[in-house]
Amino acid sequence: MGKASAPKPPDPKETSAASTGTNISTAIANSYLNNANQVGPDGTITYTNSGTQSITDPYTGKTYQIPTRTATTTLSAAQQAIKDQTDKAQLNLGTLANNQSSFLNDYMAKPFDGSNDATEARLLQLGKARLDPILAQQQDALATKLSNQGIKIGSAAYDRAMAQQGQNVNDANNQLILSGHGQAFAEGQAIRNQPINEITALLSGSQVSSPQAAGYTGSTIPTTDNAGLINQNYQQRVDAVNAKNAQTGSLVGGLFGLGSKLVGLSDDDAKKDKERLADITPEMGLWKFHYKGEAKDAPLRLGLMASEVEKVRPDAVSRRPDGYRQVDYGRALSLGA
What mean pLDDT do residues 228-247 have? 69
How many CB atoms lie under 10 A from the CB of residue 207? 10
How many CB atoms lie under 10 A from the CB of residue 96? 16
The strand pair at 43-56 and 38-40 is best described as: antiparallel
Q: What backbone phi and psi angles, to 5 degrees, belong to 336?
A: -80, -165
- Measure CA 38 to chain center: 26
Q: Which has more pLDDT, 84 or 11?
A: 84
Residues 6+ apart with CB under 8 A from 222: 23, 26, 27
- Report the alpha-carbon angle 242-248-254, nearest 5: 135
The pLDDT score that the predictor gives to residue 251 is 55
- Separation of first and last alpha carbons in the chain: 16
Q: Which has more pLDDT, 273 or 211?
A: 273
The pLDDT score that the predictor gives to residue 176 is 65
Residue type, position 181, single letter: H
pLDDT of 260 strictly over 50 = no
The pLDDT score that the predictor gives to residue 317 is 93
Q: Which has more pLDDT, 231 or 67?
A: 67
DSSP secondary structure of 279-313: ESSSS-EEEEEEETTS-TTSPPEEE--HHHHHHH-
Q: What is the pLDDT of residues 71-122, one digit of tens each?
A: 898 888 888 888 888 888 878 877 877 777 776 666 666 776 667 677 667 6
The pLDDT score that the predictor gives to residue 246 is 61
CA distance 326 to 317: 6
Sheet of 285-291: strand order equals: 271-279, 285-291, 301-303
Round the average pLDDT of the chain to a whole number and report it: 77
Q: What is the pLDDT of residues 57-66, one digit of tens each?
A: 888 888 989 8
Q: What is the pLDDT of residues 185-207, one digit of tens each?
A: 677 667 667 766 776 765 676 55
Whole-angstrom Cα Rg for the chain: 55
- Residue 310's pLDDT band, with cuts at 50, 70 and 90, is very high
CA distance 279 to 259: 17
The pLDDT score that the predictor gives to residue 162 is 80
Least confident of 24-38, 93-107, 149-163, 323-337: 93-107
What mean pLDDT do residues 145-156 have? 84
Residues 6+ apart with CB under 8 A from 98: none
pLDDT of 12 strictly over 70 = yes
Least confident of 61-75, 169-183, 284-298: 169-183
pLDDT of 229 strictly over 90 = no
What mean pLDDT do residues 283-301 have? 89
pTM over the 0.75 mark:
no
Q: Which has more pLDDT, 311 or 158?
A: 311
Q: Which has more pLDDT, 158 or 111?
A: 158
Least confident of 26-40, 92-106, 243-257, 302-316: 243-257
